[in-house]
Amino acid sequence: MQKLISIFFIFLFSYSFSQTKKLLIIGIDGCRADVITKQFAPEMDSIIHLNNTAYSYKMKNERFTMSAANWTSMLTGVHCNKTCARKNNFKHNKIAKYPHFFKYLEQKDSTLQTASFPHWMQINKYIVNGNADYAPYTKEEPSDERVKNKAVEWLQSSNMPDAMFIHFDDVDHNGHAHGFSPKRKEYTDAVSQVDKYVHDIFLKLRERKQKYKEDWLVIISTDHGGRIHHQVGGHAIGIFNKHIRNVFVIMNGDDTKAGEILKPHIVDIACTALKFFDVPVKKEWKLQGKAIGLKK
Ligand SMILES: [Zn+2]
């Protein structure tokens, strides 16, 4: 009997350490750190204050403050002087040499399912660049609402992907049209709308956590902020502008080290994702970030 009991506990022990890992990265294009407040983004603000959330309002992004550079750096873990993804047309990029972290996940375990569904479809074309099980590219871009619906659809599926990236773009569009600022209602309204989408996603996520025994990490972040005077380029050439260069990152899940993350950089996200999936980083990949916000 004693033997049976100990076998039972060994099983229980190993089961609790073999939970399926699930990662969801939510990208909100052009979302300034100072609009992630109770007033404009109550859901994200409440997530930040959970006891299983690591966060920063001062993550550094790239000196090239365009979308292409920063989404590439976030998802490859390599700075844009190497990926050469600077302008939004991705001309002369070397992303094939420094691929999306999905590639390394698939290399470690080809059964892992990866999926990317961005409003800005260029992300799938140039940054994912074939390194995902699901990453459609269509000329007609999906709306933010469709992006949210896709995430909800995944969360309700019994065979959902393991690593997922979604991207919202309306906040950036409103910043370019009216100014990126907590003082511009069109801009803060767009942030509040995405916050509602985040709320919908977390609602489904909480339901899912009741149903499946999974180990979750959700990362919410952005590529750049922007300036109030959108006529002078919105967020272009913003190397010395803290509202463009200091971006927010929110990491929620039981593997996180709760509290403020010290000195994160946007290239750290890919390395964090790899560490979450226990993928050892190889030297020859030439990654330049470090894992952040995790317990171990
Ligand atoms: Zn952008």
How many angstroms does the Cα of residue 1 sit away from the middle of ligand 1?
62
Domain-wise residue ranges, the chain:
23-83+94-285
How many angstroms does the Cα of residue 29 sit away from the middle of ligand 1?
5
End-to-end CA distance of the chain: 36
Query: Among residues 128, 162, 137, 167, which one has the least CA distance to residue 150?
Result: 167
- Return the SS3 of 141: coil
- Provide the CATH topology of domain 23-83+94-285: Alkaline Phosphatase, subunit A (3.40.720)
Half-sphere exposure in the Cβ direction for 120 (13 Å, CA): 23
How many angstroms does the Cα of residue 172 sit away from the middle of ligand 1?
6
8 A C-beta contact, residue 79 and residue 267: yes
pLDDT tens digits in sequence order for the chain, 296 residues long: 566 666 555 555 545 457 899 999 999 999 999 999 999 999 999 999 999 999 999 999 999 999 999 999 999 999 999 999 988 999 999 999 999 999 999 999 999 999 999 999 999 999 999 999 999 999 999 999 999 999 999 999 999 999 999 999 999 999 999 999 999 999 999 999 999 999 999 999 999 999 999 999 999 999 999 999 988 789 988 889 999 999 999 999 999 999 999 999 999 999 999 999 999 999 999 999 999 999 98
